[in-house]
Structure 1
Amino acid sequence: MCRGSAHRPHSCLPCTEMRAISVDVASRTCLSWAMTSSDGFSPTTYGESFADVYDHWYPDISDTAATVEFVNDMGPSQNVLEMGVGTGRLATPLQRVGHDVVGIDASLSMLHRATGRMVAAHMSQVPLRGGTFDTVLIATNTLFNLATESEQLACFAEARRVLRLGGRLVVEAFVPPEPDPQRDQLVTTRSIDVNRVVLVATIRNEEDQTITGQHIEITESGTRLRPWRIRFATTDQLDTMAAAHGFRLGDRHGDWDHSPFTSTSARHVSVWVAV
């Protein structure tokens, strides 16, 4: 079960408690995944690695105000499901402007830092009833945290299942750069201050479209490893996955400000419509 910390309230709800709110929970087990890879990576890896530093390290990872405005432009007072809600960086301001938001995340450590209606669940196993939401939001490369194609396909299927007809799936992700063998294995410096240094080691595998990394935090008291793995996909590949599960592409932008998506765009905000 998901329990709050002793010093602050929050509402990371188990399946049974979610039945009492406006979005009913299907008869599924919230924490039923068994998707740990042979080398130890799982759907919880990223969140458990970064929960204690996420808000401090990534306060400006994307434009929160622009994201909220983008969702608002699609309609007021929506039922919104944010997949990979994390610490609630987007869910909280969306709630403040009148949307009815439910968040899911595989990481209990992330959810313990969030407020609002949160469910511990995997993005490819959503324990919520079908046809419930107007919008499903997956921001900031979160879809790529599903590190296999089958998991990503399952996520599209679940998004379509919980959306009403005509609802929208909104995904923000980076555009994979062209392959460069010289950048397949890298060690870079993320930050240095008087008390710590943070290095980032990565290995990119073009065949399975993965990047496996470690943020290595070194301090006087020791070393902390923060592992992660993503599976990147091109916009064409995402469109194919979406179409296979009942979506058509509605819009694609270069950012949350509705800027045009071009051949030189570094990232995209894609909107698929449930058909």
Structure 2
Amino acid sequence: MDYDIAAYGEQRPDYDSMDWALRHDQEEASAFLAGLAPGGSALELGVGTGRVAFPLARRGLKVAGIEGSPTMAAQLEGKRDGESVEVLIGDFADVKVASAVDLIYCISETFFLLPSQESQLRCIRNAAARLTDRGRFVIQATVPDHALFCSTQSTLTRNVGPQGAIVAARRHDRAEQRVEVQNIVIRGRENTFYPMHYRYVWPSELDLMAKLAGLDLVSRSGGWRDEPYTASGSYVAVYGKN
């Protein structure tokens, strides 16, 4: 399979069992997001298996999501337990929804899966165009690690255990800010490969994209609990119409 924006999910038919690849911040994330649009409408870009969309719906919001991978969307459908989360299949850079929404959000560096600066800017512009006047656009991202990206190739050991290991091999295009990753899960004599391509964005670049789309930075924190922003690691940026 050629790699495109849908390939991330299509090659992860067992996503919810990949504990090493998951964040476990869904309750904190849903509480933070619900506070931005209490009782309103929300749209998740790259909804995946609904890890945050379902708890957000349980907090009283009307939630929809865009997902490029039919495999991911099928996993979401299999997790329903009375919650109403509408799923649209497509490229989330297009942000195609029929009516304006109060909250559009993109979590867990999913925004970086958009392959080019052009597609990332298009995504933010389309999101801005579909927000209500007092709506909010939220991105959870990571400040790029200088030490990690100083070389064009690197490896990272994610996990080592008695039954195997998980290793990430990276190739980095510094000029384009693109990284090709192959996550290799080694179990006994079997290897499973989980590729991922992404284009990282610096916080200042993200702010400029938002400004070009007619959005201003409302807040930036170190996480869903409003931790201080330290210009390293994970952060949450909130934007509103200017």
* TM-score of the aligned structures, taking structure 2 as reference length: 0.89
TM superposition shift of 1:56: 3.3
Letter paired with 1:88:
G
Tell whether the 8 Å contact from 2:149 to 2:174 is kept in structure 1 after alignment.
no
The CA deviation at 1:121 is 1.4
> Residue 269 in 1 paired to residue 236 in 2?
yes
CA distance in 1, matches of 2:102, 2:148: 40
Q: Is the 8 A contact 1:62 1:140 kept in 2?
A: no
Which residue of the other structure, out of 42, 49, 65, is the alignment partner of 1:80? 42
Question: Higher strand proportion, which one?
Answer: 2
Structure 1: runs of 5 or more not aligned:
1-35
Using the alignment, how far apart are the partners of 1:180 and 1:49 within structure 2?
25
1:243 and 2:205 equivalent?
A: no
How big is the shift at 1:196? Answer: 4.0
- For the residues of structure 1 that align with 2:149 and 2:112, how far apart are their CA atoms? 21
1:60 positional shift: 5.3
Over 3 Å counting, the alpha-carbon distance change for 1:44 and 1:248 in structure 2 is same
Aligned to 2:90: 121
Answer whether contact 1:179 1:206 (CA < 8 A) is retained.
Answer: no
Q: How many angstroms apart in 2 are the aligned matches of 1:56 and 1:181?
A: 25
How many aligned residue pairs are there? 235
Higher mean displacement: 186-195 or 80-89: 186-195
> Cα distance, 1:230 vs. partner?
0.8
> Structure 2 vs 1, CA of residues 55 and 79 (structure 1 numbering), >3 Å: closer, same or farther?
farther
1:52 aligns with 2:14: yes
Q: In structure 1, what is the equivalent of residue 57 of structure 2?
A: 95
Q: Match for 2:185 among 214, 217, 226? A: 217
- Structure 2 vs 1, CA of residues 47 and 60 (structure 1 numbering), >3 Å: closer, same or farther? closer
Matched AA of 1:273 = G
1:227 counterpart residue number:
195
- Give the superposition deviation at 1:126: 2.5
What is the deviation of 1:219?
A: 3.8
Contact 2:140 2:237 in 1 (8 A): yes
In 2, Cα distance between equivalents of 1:58 and 1:107: 20
Give the unaligned 5+ runs of structure 2.
78-84
What amino acid is aligned across from residue 78 of structure 1 in structure 2?
G
What is the root-mean-square deviation in Å for CA atoms of aligned residues?
2.1
1:61 maps to what in 2? 23
Deviations 1:38-87 (A, max 9, x none): xx321112112234134432475142111111112223112000001100
1:258 aligns with 2:226: yes
Q: 1:89: how far off? A: 0.2
Q: Partner of 2:76: helix, strand, or coil?
A: coil
Task: State the distance in 2 between where 1:59 and 1:180 align.
Answer: 18
Task: Determine if contact 1:250/1:272 at 8 Å carries over to the other structure.
Answer: yes
Say which is worse superposed, 176-185 or 209-218, in terms of deviation.
Answer: 176-185
Q: Following superposition of structure 1 onto structure 2, how do residues 96-245 of structure 1 map, counting pairs within 5 Å? A: 96-115=58-77, 116-130=85-99, 132-178=100-146, 183-220=151-188, 222-245=190-213
Q: Which residue is 1:26 aligned to?
A: none
TM-fit CA distance, 1:162: 1.6
For the structure 1 residues 215 and 206, does the alpha-carbon distance in structure 2 shift closer, same or farther, using more than 3 Å as the test? same
